[in-house]
Amino acid sequence: MSTLFDLAFLSAAPFWALMIVTPTWRITHRVVSSPWLVLPTLVVWAVAAIPLLGPLWTLVVNPSLTGFERLLADPAAVTAVWAQIIAWDLFVGRWIYLDSRRRDVHPLVMAPVLVLAILLSPIGLPVYLGLRSIPALARRNDVPAMAT
C-alpha cells in the first residue's frame, strides 16, 4: 500500500511541474486544458478504494467522526483519501493555472501560488482569488470574474 500511496503524488507531479516550470509552453497549456489530467490519480484512488466501497459508502452516506477514525486505521483507506486529496488539489491547481494564464498574470507571481496549492489548496485557492483581484497583477482584466 505504501507504493500506491507514493504513486498518488507521483501521478500528479508531472502536471504540477508543467504548470510551474513551463507555464507559457504551448504543450503545457494543451495538456493542462484537459480535465482528464486527474485521471491517473483517480486510478490510484480506485485501486485503493474499490475494496473498501461498502464501508466507505456507508460512511459517506452517514458520516461520523468515529466511523472515519476506524476506517482511516486501514492503510488502504488512508491511501484512497490521500489520492482523493491529490486529485482535488490538482484540479484546483489546474483551474488556478488556466485562469491566471487567461488573465495574463506573470508566471513568477503564479509559481509560489501554485506551490502553495500543491501543499495546501485550501490556502492556495483563496490566496489566488485575492491576488487575481489586484488589477496591477493582471495585464488583461477583461475576463469574467469566475471564468473557467
Q: What is the DSSP string of the chain?
A: -HHHHHHHHHTTHHHHHHHHHSTT-HHHHHHHT-GGGGHHHHHHHHHHHGGGHHHHHHHHHS--HHHHHHHTTSHHHHHHHHHHHHHHHHHHHHHHHHHHHHTT--HHHHHHHHHHHHH-HHHHHHHHHHHTT-GGG-S---S-TT--
pLDDT in tens, 6-63: 999 999 999 999 999 999 999 999 999 999 999 999 999 999 999 999 999 999 999 9
Q: What is the pLDDT of residue 32?
A: 97
Q: What is the mean pLDDT of residues 96-121?
A: 95
pTM of this prediction exceeds 0.75: yes
